[in-house]
Amino acid sequence: MTFYNKIKWILGILIVFVLIITTNLIDKNNFVRVRDSVETIYEDRLIAKDLIFEMLKSIQEKELAVLVSDSTFFKYRNETINDHLTTLVLRFDKTKLTKDEAEVFGNLKENVKLLIASEKSFVKTEKSNNVDMLKHISGLKENLNDLSKIQIDEGRRQMSISKRAVDTVELFTHIEIYFLIFLAVVVQVIIMYQPKDKEK
């Protein structure tokens, strides 16, 4: 084998090596995208959905107490519910929020503050005027409903990202396999091929 042929073989093998490394790096990148998407679905969607559910339970408990003018609730339980609600809001604030989610969440935080303020005046007026409280509770329920819908939409979007990444990995895997089969055939042909000597 001449020096020139050796160089050609080395370059050919290097090209194959670079192609395989490139496809592996692309695969790795896609697996990272899948992992991040799954983590986001869990951390920022499922946990957020649970927090929304817990907030809704607290709001509904308050709503029931307002509707029946439950004085024992406001005397003994309301402060605990407010603390729990505040904790849930703080935990929700730590999740990654989309632009729409941040806007709705800002409204929710404002409605929580307004509800707590209106509770104080509700208790002072001996539970005679519950209109403001019911308005804030209604606003909170609407905010929570909107946030819940956003969780579903974002979860769907993250699943779509995962699916695209997995599809890309599968495509590159198939291309890589076909390319390696092609190279194996070419190498076999080169090895088996014996040129005929020219008769002089």
The pLDDT tens digits of the residues spanning 78-114 come to 999 999 999 999 999 988 888 999 999 999 999 999 9
Domain 18-192, what architecture? Up-down Bundle (1.20)
pLDDT, tens digit (0-9, with 9 covering 90-100), for 139-176: 999 999 999 999 888 888 878 877 787 788 778 777 87
SS3 of residue 79 by DSSP:
helix
- Which uninterrupted H or E stretch holds 70? none
Confidence of residue 64 (pLDDT cuts 50, 70, 90): very high
Q: Does the structure show a pLDDT above 80 at 57?
A: yes
Query: Are 176 and 20 in contact, with CB atoms under 8 Å apart?
Result: yes
User: For 5, how many CA atoms within 13 A lie in the half-sphere containing its CB?
Assistant: 3
| pLDDT of 199 higher than 60 | no
Q: How confident is the model at residue 193 (pLDDT cuts 50, 70, 90)?
A: low
What's the confidence (pLDDT) of residue 192?
63
Question: Domain limits of the chain?
Answer: 18-192
Average of per-residue pLDDT values in the chain: 82
Instruction: Answer with the residue of higher pLDDT: 40 or 71.
Output: 71
Q: Is the pTM of this model over 0.85?
A: no
How many other C-beta atoms are found inside a 10 Å radius of the C-beta of residue 73? 16
Distance CA 132, CA 123 (A): 12
